Structure 1
């Protein structure tokens, strides 16, 4: 059975966004579920609260009166809850982090260790996605914080926090570590056979725009799958040079420094500024920024 509070909060989101589908995304619910909640509230009140328009819904007179009556009190309730959280801290709950696959091998581990040690009662839910998917999850409110490549953040609706720059390297069969004075290879003159991420991934778009010669011989959505394919002799791959040497050694692979073209991307954290962030999400962002500052020191 739906509680009055849930029905009224769903009503307020529909009224604010003027769309059932957008309200459903914002509430992380199905559109049919939100429609049922609205129908239950209208049945209880005996009045229609919205009328259909070409682009969504509009408030009826009864809907306007209801919004005016409850919007202020609900805002006051949410403000009071936020003040209590800020004053006394939050030690329990779930924080949802969306991230690109690559950083799980050399950055997120330290971030999570720092965050969990300070908040042992928190459940941290991590979702590995492509950069555009990370951005979409944060925009829709389905993730509290995202870590992605800045080239995928083409929206002004998100707050962006620079973390660090990622320089790419060529990964191929072999166990030789590059010398400190190694100038790197010129990929422009090589006929490459590349294992890469599918279309839509930021690193794939980087390769598409770099003008490299050769062909894509295989696609994989995870770093481990790519490394297995390279280890099997399918081809080479281009990945961040921050990947641990120990990881590559497990697959009999090594890094080759790239001199030209310059393949570099900036990693950023993204959050939704229009949604009041949970203190725990802010704490996670603080940990990410702190770990990022220490990377090159």
Structure 2
């Protein structure tokens, strides 16, 4: 069994298509197919089945993929450790983040860090709460910004960075848009623009509305803060977004109003795998971030 076979297998499993995998690997399609076939022969199992135009993993293929991803992630870490040993200032940091922190916060932190560590590279991965925890557990990323911060978890640990306020966002012409603050139940009869189920901000907003005595009427759902903000600005409803997701000014920008009853906040933290030492360059970034947050407060 060869390393390239495992790499090709993982790529085909991700793309669900040999042609797309071969294009991304810059390898001939026939070579990828041949290596997958040889891997299946060596294992004595079928890893993929054809479903229409896509290849889907068999049950044993899914089991094998989990182990292969762990092996490849460990290899990546080993390579990074060697590079860091030779030159800690030329390492790579693999960081996960939710979209709402990618608009302003993450670019700002990375830009400040790179001023004093210009040789360090970043490999960034956007994800949801559950996918970020999964990627940290699998070792696919070193660190992840996450919200809400998981206070107790069997496989990840970290630091609470900050508590961030959520604002009500309204169309500019809305009757409440000019107020300095509102009570959340003043929005009980409004249509809401909400994140879809897998996003933690949805749960935070639903819980806040419940504590305010109502269940929001959801007319639109989206997966990006830009989409939520744009739909509200276009008059499709109201929503709640964290302050860091409201820093970008565009032609479609809603009004924002502070919510005072109840005040709605989210926790933001930085996590990594429990019981495992971070790569040296990731430790440097972690220390820098904690000092950066102190200066922000």
TM-score, normalisation: structure 1 = 0.67
SS in 2 for 1:120: coil
Change (3 A) 1:151 1:283: closer
User: By how many angstroms is 1:253 displaced?
Assistant: 1.6
Q: For residues 173 and 291 of structure 1, what CA distance do their matches in structure 2 show?
A: 34
2:138 aligned to 119, 131, 140, which one?
Answer: 140
1:216 equivalenced with 2:260 (yes/no): no
Q: For residues 293 and 151 of structure 1, what CA distance do their matches in structure 2 show?
A: 18
TM-score, normalisation: structure 2 = 0.67
Q: For residues 238 and 161 of structure 2, what CA distance do their matches in structure 1 show?
A: 28
User: By how many angstroms is 1:120 displaced?
Assistant: 1.9
User: By how many angstroms is 1:249 displaced?
Assistant: 5.6
Q: Which residue of structure 1 aligns with residue 67 of structure 2? A: 23
Q: Which residue of structure 2 aligns with residue 118 of structure 1? A: 116
Q: For residues 136 and 178 of structure 2, what CA distance do their matches in structure 1 show?
A: 38
Q: For residues 244 and 199 of structure 1, what CA distance do their matches in structure 2 show?
A: 21
Q: Which residue of structure 2 aligns with residue 64 of structure 1? A: none
Change (3 A) 1:202 1:189: same
Q: Which residue of structure 2 aligns with residue 188 of structure 1? A: 185
SS in 1 for 2:227: helix
Larger radius of gyration: 1
- String of CA shifts for 1:225-258, please: whole Å, max 9, x gaps: 112211221111210124445x246424221110
1:222-241 correspondence to structure 2 within 5 Å? 222-241=224-243
User: By how many angstroms is 1:85 displaced?
Assistant: 4.5
User: By how many angstroms is 1:295 displaced?
Assistant: 2.1
Q: For residues 89 and 165 of structure 1, what CA distance do their matches in structure 2 show?
A: 36
Change (3 A) 1:261 1:83: same
Change (3 A) 1:150 1:243: closer
Aligned residues: 228
Q: For residues 197 and 149 of structure 1, what CA distance do their matches in structure 2 show?
A: 14
Q: Which residue of structure 1 aligns with residue 163 of structure 2? A: 165
SS in 1 for 2:131: helix
Q: C-alpha root-mean-square deviation of aligned residues, in Å?
A: 3.1
Runs of 4+ in 1 over 4 A off after TM superposition: 19-22, 81-86, 151-154, 175-179
- String of CA shifts for 1:132-176, please: whole Å, max 9, x gaps: 211111111111110011355652221221111011101112289
User: By how many angstroms is 1:89 displaced?
Assistant: 4.8
Q: For residues 214 and 83 of structure 1, what CA distance do their matches in structure 2 show?
A: 53
Change (3 A) 1:242 1:22: closer
Change (3 A) 1:118 1:83: same
Q: For residues 217 and 177 of structure 1, what CA distance do their matches in structure 2 show?
A: 20
- String of CA shifts for 1:39-97, please: whole Å, max 9, x gaps: xxxxxxxxxxxxxxxxxxxxxxxxxxxxxxxxxxxxxxx7xx969946x7512233211
CA contact under 8 A between 1:28 and 1:141: conserved in structure 2? no
SS in 1 for 2:263: coil
Q: Which residue of structure 1 aligns with residue 287 of structure 2? A: 286
CA contact under 8 A between 1:91 and 1:122: conserved in structure 2? yes
Q: Which residue of structure 2 aligns with residue 2 of structure 1? A: 2
Q: For residues 2 and 245 of structure 2, what CA distance do their matches in structure 1 show?
A: 48
SS in 2 for 1:213: coil
Gaps of 5+ in 2: 7-62
CA contact under 8 A between 1:97 and 1:127: conserved in structure 2? yes
Q: Which residue of structure 2 aligns with residue 60 of structure 1? A: none
Gaps of 5+ in 1: 7-18, 30-77
1:83-98 correspondence to structure 2 within 5 Å? 85=84, 89-98=87-96
